Amino acid sequence: MNKTLFSLFLLLGSGQAYSQLEITISGGETGAQPIAVVPFAADAAVPGDLAAVIEADLARTGLFKPLRREDMLEKPTQAAQVDYKNWSAVGVEHVVVGTLKTSAAGKGALSFELLDIVRGELNLNGEVAMQNAMRWRSTAHITADRIFEKLTGVRGVFDTQIAYVTAAGTGRKRLFQVIVADADGANPVTVASSREPLLSPAWSPDRKRLAYVGFEKGRSAIYIHTLATGELRKLTFERGINGAPAWSPDGRTLAVTMSFESNPDIYLVNVDSGKRQRLTEHYAIDTEPAWSPDGREIAFTSDRGGQPQIYTVSSSGGAARRLTFEGRQNLCADYSPDGGSMALINADEGVYRVGVLDLKTRSLRILSDGPLDESPSFAPNGAMLIYAAQGRKSAELATVSVDGRTRQRLTQAGDVREPAWSPIGR
Amino acid sequence: MKNYLILGAVILALVSAGCTATRGKKSSVERPSSSASGANDSFDANAGTAGAGAGEAPGTDSDADLAKRTVYFDLDRSEIRSDSLPVVEVWAKYLVANPSVKVRLEGHCDERGTREYNVALGERRSNSLQDALTSRGVGAGQLAVVSFGEERPLALGHDEAAWSQNRRAEIILQ
């Protein structure tokens, strides 16, 4: 009966998880550019509807309004076939056409062309490889990234992933899982599963590993999980807290919270050797470390001033300086990819909301409504944030663009929490 | 009722035999999976006994009070509420009288705030309970401390009625 309750199974690519995230969008419609993504030609059996995935990616940003297929007056698959009048007639400004070529082995490539209807000319063309039929969605996302970057000047993040934690069931049957899915919610894969809590999934900078916190027999530990192989390593498992793992930008060090020496403080742990170095030493709670993108500074949550606020300390040690002064509490820092701002949770009058602090001007913008928002994570292009929120029936994920205009909700059965957006690039 | 008789019998057996209740060793009474003494299933046991009030049980009054094993805290605080101190007294007495009995002290928070900060706050609460027991003579070696932050709520609502039930530390027999 008293068997180990912490069991792990890695199901690579088979997408076996209880359910998939459903995404609903709100906001961003005014000023959205009308675009048409024409269904692609294919020389063999098509593994999936790539044009539909590209269309959905662009629509989710709130910056593009795709034309419905039934409203298309023609269905060209090459630039030479396009009659610009047919598109300007329905108000479309950009058209994407293409052909999917596949070989017998399932490898292939999508040849695509992006046309500027207003200027009447080709804007971009390219070829995106498809490693095998199972990776067809990635090919579509990479294409969408290229189109998005050409049209907005901003790097796309469609070909990225999110890690998150789900909790379902109650009492004896409560099951926690760490799940990795595509950024559009497709292909959820269970990375870890336990009847004891799982927390704080964190991507290594090379996207190959996840660190997370698990409990076993009443004790916590930080685990490093190699996604491709399923190899699992316990990195720290001292008495007390082992928590809040955060990878350094070079992937060699994890900043963590441990309390085994006195009370919760920040430690730096070498990922290979396990050698550790204490970074903060204070009788208050120090936790939730986050690295600046240049690796020089670590932000963390501390209640040394009475209530939790965000402080920074040099990653080579030294005195901590307080960073946040607005609101009753500030917690859970996440630096933007360019290091110029910081996402955080701001609490005032019992309401917890996502804010972004400009690190130069120190002005704070509140981006969400609360009341129980947590775990903000920047998209790797710095243009959006994903976070956890309390929905009407259960806990959900949500995204918001940094200008606050476009929002999405990502929901599934049970509670979803602790999202972490992967770095760019596989 | 059945849970309660089993609980009472287990406690009697432990108290009278003074047996070592460390993990891996079986006591003379089979440990039922839903009793408060289930080490690895502590969270599940919690759900099972939460409703089993402090009714009559075989043995002395203090055995009945051992069924209460939760102390409560106010928002953002780690001092045990004064109305929870009787639980501390009863358990301190029992643990002092049975120095080979070990317990785990589990700290919890309500859902407000961020998860890792709440793990740390939960540890403050279980440390507070640990201090309250050791200051009453319980040996430090009998006590292990862990925090589950906000991850194991008893009450799933989003209001003070639920939150006040979740701000707690529990004594779990090992």
Q: Which of A114-123, A124-133, B17-26 has the lowest mean pLDDT?
A: B17-26
| Residues in B 66-125 with any Cβ partner in A closer than 8 A | 76, 104, 106, 111-117, 119-121, 123-124
CB A37 within 8 A of CB A49: no
CA distance A300 to A174: 31
CA distance B64 to B86: 12
**A345: pLDDT strictly greater than 60:** yes
A273-290: per-residue pLDDT in tens? 999 999 999 999 999 999
Which one-letter DSSP state was computed for residue B4?
H
pLDDT at B20: 38
pLDDT at A426: 59
For residue A110 the two structure tokens come to 């999508």
Neighbour count for residue A277 (Cβ, 10 Å)? 12
> Is A220 in contact with B41 (Cβ distance < 8 A)?
no
Which distant-in-sequence residues (6+ apart) come within 8 Å of B5 by Cβ? B57, B58
CB A391 within 8 A of CB A412: no
**A16: pLDDT strictly greater than 60:** no
Residue B63 pLDDT class (50, 70, 90 cuts): low
CATH architecture under which domain B2-173 falls: 2-Layer Sandwich (3.30)
**A9: pLDDT strictly greater than 90:** no
CA distance A331 to A329: 7
**A420: pLDDT strictly greater than 90:** yes
> Is A220 in contact with B114 (Cβ distance < 8 A)?
no
Closest Cα in chain A, distance from residue B143 (Å): 12
Q: Which residues of chain A are in CATH 2.120.10.30 domains?
A: 8-19+161-421
For residue A85 the two structure tokens come to 């009048």
For residue B151 the two structure tokens come to 């991850």
CB B46 within 8 A of CB B154: yes
pLDDT at A24: 83
Closest residue in chain A to residue B25, using alpha carbons only? A2
**B123: pLDDT strictly greater than 80:** yes
CB B141 within 8 A of CB B169: no
ipTM here: 0.91
**DSSP one-letter string for A351-398:** EEEEEEEETTT--EEE----SB-EEEEE-TTSSEEEEEEE-SSSEEEE
Q: What is the mean pLDDT of residues A103-110?
A: 84
Strands B143-147 and B103-107, sheet pairing? parallel
Residue A46 pLDDT class (50, 70, 90 cuts): confident
Q: What is the mean pLDDT of residues A104-117?
A: 91
- Any chain A CB within 8 A of the CB of B130? no
Closest Cα in chain A, distance from residue B70 (Å): 17
What is the rounded average pLDDT for all residues in chain B?
75
Contacts of A217 in chain B (CB under 8 A): 39-40
**B9: pLDDT strictly greater than 70:** no
Higher-confidence residue of A17 and A55: namely: A55
Domain A8-19+161-421: which CATH number of 2.40.50.100, 2.120.10.30, 2.40.30.10, 2.60.40.1120: 2.120.10.30
Contacts of A288 in chain B (CB under 8 A): 114, 116-117
CB A21 within 8 A of CB A397: yes
A241-267: per-residue pLDDT in tens? 999 999 999 999 999 999 999 899 999
In degrees and rounded to multiples of 5, residue A131 shows phi and psi of -60, -45
Instruction: For an interface test with A, give the residue of B116, B125, B126, B163 to mutate (most A CBs within 10 A).
Output: B116
Q: What is the mean pLDDT of residues A399-425?
A: 91
pLDDT at A174: 87
> Is B40 in contact with A308 (Cβ distance < 8 A)?
no
pLDDT at A23: 85
CA gyration radius for chain A? 23
Residue A25 pLDDT class (50, 70, 90 cuts): confident
> Nearest Cβ partner of B120 from A197, A287, A332?
A287
B75-106: per-residue pLDDT in tens? 888 999 999 999 999 999 999 999 999 999 99
Residues of chain B with pLDDT > 90, as a percent, come to 58
Residue A289, helix vs strand vs coil: strand
Residue B50 pLDDT class (50, 70, 90 cuts): very low
Residues of chain A with pLDDT > 90, as a percent, come to 81
Residue A211, helix vs strand vs coil: strand
**A6: pLDDT strictly greater than 80:** no
| E strands, A131-247, in order | 161-168, 175-182, 189-194, 198-203, 209-216, 219-226, 232-236, 242-247
Q: What is the pTM of this model?
A: 0.85
Measured at the CA of A383, the angle between CA A377 and CA A389, to 5 degrees, comes to: 40
Closest Cα in chain A, distance from residue B174 (Å): 10
Name the β-bridge partners of A330. A346
HEC readout, A35-54: EEECCCEECCCCCCCHHHHH
Q: How far is CA B124 from CA A263, B106, B118, B148, in A?
A: 9, 10, 10, 11
Closest residue in chain B to residue A390, using alpha carbons only? B158
Name the β-bridge partners of A115. A95, A122
> Is B152 in contact with A390 (Cβ distance < 8 A)?
no
CB B69 within 8 A of CB B86: no
CA distance A254 to A270: 6
> Is B117 in contact with A308 (Cβ distance < 8 A)?
yes
Closest residue in chain A to residue B156, using alpha carbons only? A170
What is the rounded average pLDDT for all residues in chain A?
92
pLDDT at A188: 94
Q: Which residues of chain A are in CATH 3.40.50.10070 domains?
A: 38-152
Residue B5 pLDDT class (50, 70, 90 cuts): low
List the one residue out of A338, A357, A402, A413 whose CA is nearest residue A167: A413
- CATH number of the A38-152 domain: 3.40.50.10070
Closest residue in chain A to residue B172, using alpha carbons only? A218
The one-letter amino acid at A7? S
> Nearest Cβ partner of B47 from A1, A172, A332?
A172
CA distance B61 to A20: 53
The one-letter amino acid at A71? D
Residue B17 pLDDT class (50, 70, 90 cuts): very low
pLDDT at A118: 95
Higher-confidence residue of A96 and A27: namely: A96
